[in-house]
């Protein structure tokens, strides 16, 4: 009996969910005569909640919250079958909730994320905070205020999609949240002041800069554990066991670039395949990875695909290899 192909792809941001990408590639593999196992993955950014609920079982719930600009929303969180909860920062405090002309990194707050964490903590012993996709650079001040108001001090694990340190958060991610150079400088000063006032100094600690310093704020004030979101998800869904039983693995994401090696799910999948001696192919929307970094990942091939038919065609092409 031939070994199956494991399809372990992340979302194509703004286009297809991880489940949709995996399903399309798997259809192509099966059409080409290969057995395929669909294993959608995430890195702590948008889609982490769906991936964990899909793999581990659980229930998606809602709670009143506010978006990054303070407007009322109904935000989702999940209670997993194992008793843990999942909150995505992007759900309440996400950049995707704002129109481009609404982006205001100085005013944007994580207060709504704190409201969702408080709701989840009322029913779960541990809350996983998926920290990607935020519109904020408030050092977690908003979330901490909401948790204090709710009287909640939950046990937190922050699933980080980047390894950025606190002091670099504004410079690295502020511009994509709408900050001009002057605003970046103001945000840096605010983060410095917050670090000076924190019970533990988040500066210089990897992953404290995720979600505009939310990870560092929760770490410094509440003792949150900061972990790689991609590693957390892959461990939770049993990726290593599936990989060891695979003919080869297909990873994927919307854009393959230098960020892939800095905590993204596709990079973690490729790295584990390299370490496990299992061939890994990538199907991506755009390949912008330079040859040196491509060699680091040791990908056997990279196929660009931007539509469902192209994803299916990529699966068929890989089935013939």
Beta strands in the chain (DSSP E): 5-9, 36-38, 58-66, 72-80, 85-88, 126-130, 155-160, 225-228, 249-252, 255-256, 280-284, 286-287, 301-304
Question: Cα separation of 313 and 290, whole Å?
Answer: 25
What pLDDT score was predicted for residue 1?
55
Question: Cα separation of 163 and 160, whole Å?
Answer: 7
3-23 exposure pattern, b = at least 16 Cβ within 10 A, e = fewer: ebbbbbbbbbbeebbbbbbbb
What pLDDT score was predicted for residue 296?
87
Burial group, residue 193, by CB count within 10 angstroms (0-12, 13-18, 19+):
exposed
Half-sphere exposure in the Cβ direction for 182 (13 Å, CA): 1
- pLDDT digits (tens), the chain, 321 positions: 589 999 999 999 888 999 999 999 999 999 999 999 999 999 998 899 999 999 999 999 999 999 999 999 999 999 999 999 999 999 999 999 999 999 999 999 999 999 999 999 999 999 999 998 999 999 999 999 999 999 999 999 999 988 999 999 999 999 999 999 999 999 999 999 999 999 999 999 999 999 999 999 999 999 999 999 999 999 999 999 999 999 999 999 999 988 888 778 999 999 999 999 999 999 999 999 888 888 889 999 999 999 999 999 999 999 998
Please, are residues 310 and 21 in contact by the beta-carbon 8 Å criterion? Answer: no
What pLDDT score was predicted for residue 89?
97
What pLDDT score was predicted for residue 114?
98
Please, are residues 164 and 120 in contact by the beta-carbon 8 Å criterion? Answer: no
Question: Cα separation of 46 and 221, whole Å?
Answer: 25
- pTM of the full structure: 0.92
Question: Cα separation of 305 and 286, whole Å?
Answer: 8
């Amino acid at each position: 009996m031939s070994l199956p192909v494991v399809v372990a792809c992340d979302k194509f941001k703004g286009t297809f969910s991880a489940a949709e990408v995996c399903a399309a590639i798997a259809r192509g593999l099966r059409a080409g005569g290969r057995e395929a196992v669909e294993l959608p993955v995430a890195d702590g950014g948008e889609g982490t909640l769906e991936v964990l609920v899909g793999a581990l079982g659980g229930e998606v719930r809602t709670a009143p919250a506010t978006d990054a600009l303070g407007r009322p929303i109904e935000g989702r969180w999940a209670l997993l079958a194992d008793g843990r909860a999942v909150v995505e920062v992007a759900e309440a405090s996400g950049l995707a909730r704002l129109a481009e002309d609404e982006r205001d990194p100085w005013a944007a707050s994580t207060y709504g994320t704190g409201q969702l964490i408080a709701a989840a903590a009322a029913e779960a012993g541990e809350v996983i905070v998926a920290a990607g996709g935020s519109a904020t650079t408030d050092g977690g001040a908003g979330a901490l205020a909401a948790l204090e108001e709710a009287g909640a001090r939950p046990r937190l694990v922050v699933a980080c999609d980047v390894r950025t340190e606190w002091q670099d958060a504004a410079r690295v991610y502020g511009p994509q949240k709408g900050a001009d150079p002057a605003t970046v400088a103001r945000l840096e000063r605010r983060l410095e002041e917050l670090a000076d006032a924190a019970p533990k100094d988040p500066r210089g600690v990897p992953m404290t800069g995720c979600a505009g310093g939310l990870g560092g704020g929760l770490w410094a004030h509440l003792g949150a554990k900061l972990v790689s979101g991609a590693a957390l998800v892959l461990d939770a869904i049993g990726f290593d066991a599936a990989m060891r039983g695979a003919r080869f693995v297909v990873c994927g994401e919307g854009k393959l670039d230098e960020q892939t090696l800095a905590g993204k799910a596709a990079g973690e999948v490729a790295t584990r395949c390299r370490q496990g001696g299992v061939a890994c192919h990538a199907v991506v929307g755009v390949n912008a990875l330079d040859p040196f970094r491509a060699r680091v990942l040791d990908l056997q091939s990279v196929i660009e695909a931007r539509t469902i038919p192209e994803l299916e065609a990529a699966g068929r092409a890989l089935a013939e290899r």
